[in-house]
Chains A and B, each alone.
Chain A
């Protein structure tokens, strides 16, 4: 009876995964057909597979530069978020200090702040400091929601490490930076992996800031795509090919952290 129940669960799960996959499959289908073919006939799979859409993305700088720009600012943001958040998360998990609760809550509210609220002043602020249309501007803007999230996740992981480890290390004569970098961070490796995953994810998928703070030099692919939607004569095949390509970096990141993900999700409170 037990095995039968397990079977029903796994069939239901497989069905769900199928439902998850179908819309993505449909976009793949579209991306492998020419626009005339898409509009001309309805087909469940491409009768004539063409890679013209992908070829166009890889050869036209106005398309492929979007991916490079996005990867640059997303990587910058992930590194920045982790570098800022690690010491702060340590402070929140180990110390009691003046205004710690308030500070933590204030950080959390920034994760919850509507990006639309900050839209106008952001444009002005970054124009004033002359950072408009640079990668660092978007990376910095995304810190608004990624740093609080990183602090939040890392604090959970750090609180799972007993404080005796810190005390022993300090008695053994470790200085704080040496202890933190060589002993403590390796202990919460899984947590750092999971945090990096979340920072990458939220920076990669964000549209509003990225679109507002860039013009041409740092314009990410997500912004390029919205401008195509509003233009006349939509090329569905090209749009679908771009959509498929935006999934690739995310899929690669998941693949690299998949073991940490399973372990990290179980250990931390995320």
Chain B
């Protein structure tokens, strides 16, 4: 669609700019301020330059949290995207079951994030949880299941929770993509005698590319920013084995009240997210262009 060229359109964007700037730019400048100073109290601050940045970049706990974060986000994408596609393919096409399925799928998305953590504590605890008691009564584990006891158990619980919580979003997005494919494509495939696999590979998957990019973008970013669920479920433990970036940052900022290092950490964190946002945004733009050409 050819767009009109008119800079007066800025008047329509201005309210959004003002409200988001109030919430984003002012606080961000405060963070920059903190990150360059050592603050002893009101009105007592010393300019320290890049000292906090150097300290944080050399912080091994930050490195560990960062690798943990990448591992977590990578696993999330590897599991949730294929599973979401499969669920979308299995969804009914018409009738009352469509609405029912959509409602069921959407429910986990509307539960507050720390309640998700609560649900999974109650579900997996070795004394009262169905999963915890169930798996321990089977007696196949050499160490009884308890998500606070061993890092691997904590990770399994976290991943199960994450997949349970967010796969529906991927499924809903893919379902939307599938619904947008005109019936004529399927008719043509039937005339050619294409197998279900070929239909998926040459019609459904390419047509889902747009929504899949959005799904990958949202899932990567949100899992990269995850806070409330592991906070409620494991509190970052056992040890620091489930301390992701946001959890570490909040510990640093509110627990130990190290304003300078926390602010420097915030900026590094934000830059990483910004870098990935930019890559994904470019990918998204190119997907749009590719569709228009074909």
Contact = CB atoms under 8 A, between A and B. Distances in A.
Interface string A177-206: 000000000000000000000000100111
Contacts of B58: none
Contacts of B104: 17, 20-21
A27 B277 contact: no
Interface stretch (B43-51, B71-79, B139-147, B175-183): B175-183
Contact of B227 (A27, A140, A143, A208): A208
Interface in B1-46: 1-10, 12-13, 15-17, 19-20, 22-24, 26-28, 30-31, 34
Interface size band for A = 35 or more
A174 interface: no
B31 A148 contact: no
B128 A109 contact: no
A6 to B, nearest CB: 9
A23 interface: yes
B19 to A, nearest CB: 5
Contacts of B249: 114, 116-117
Contacts, number: 287
Contact of A9 (B26, B34, B89, B277): B89
B227 A207 contact: yes
Given A26-B130, A84-B19, A204 B277 contact: no
Q: Which of B6, B20, B104, B262 has the most CB of A within 10 A?
A: B20
Interface string B163-204: 010001000110110011000000000000000100000000
B87 A16 contact: yes
Given A119-B254, A266-B180, A269-B211, A113 B113 contact: no
Contacts of A249: 110
A251 B107 contact: yes
Contacts of A140: 19, 22-23
B269 A114 contact: yes
Q: Which of A85, A103, A110 has the most CB of B within 10 A?
A: A110
Contact of B16 (A98, A108, A147, A222): A147
Interface string B263-281: 1001101100110111001
A113 B3 contact: no
B114 A254 contact: no
A56 interface: no
Interface size band for B = 35 or more
Q: Main SS of the interface on chain B? A: helix
A96 B3 contact: yes
A12 interface: yes
A148 B164 CA distance: 26
B102 interface: yes
Interface string B213-227: 010000001001101
Contacts of A242: 115
B122 A26 contact: yes
A63 to B, nearest CB: 14
A114 B23 contact: no
A262 B98 contact: yes
A222 B168 contact: no
A262 B93 CA distance: 11
B115 A243 contact: yes
Given A113-B24, A114-B245, A265 B179 contact: yes
24 contacts: A26-B123, A91-B13, A95-B6, A97-B9, A105-B281, A107-B16, A111-B221, A112-B276, A117-B269, A118-B28, A120-B263, A140-B19, A143-B19, A205-B109, A207-B228, A208-B227, A226-B232, A247-B110, A258-B99, A261-B102, A262-B99, A262-B102, A265-B176, A269-B210
User: Which A-B residue pairs are the 3 nearest by beta carbons?
Assistant: A250-B110, A121-B27, A95-B9
Given A97-B5, A117-B249, A270-B173, 17 more contacts: A13-B92, A20-B104, A22-B123, A27-B122, A80-B19, A88-B12, A110-B24, A116-B253, A117-B31, A118-B24, A144-B23, A207-B112, A225-B115, A249-B110, A254-B106, A261-B106, A262-B102
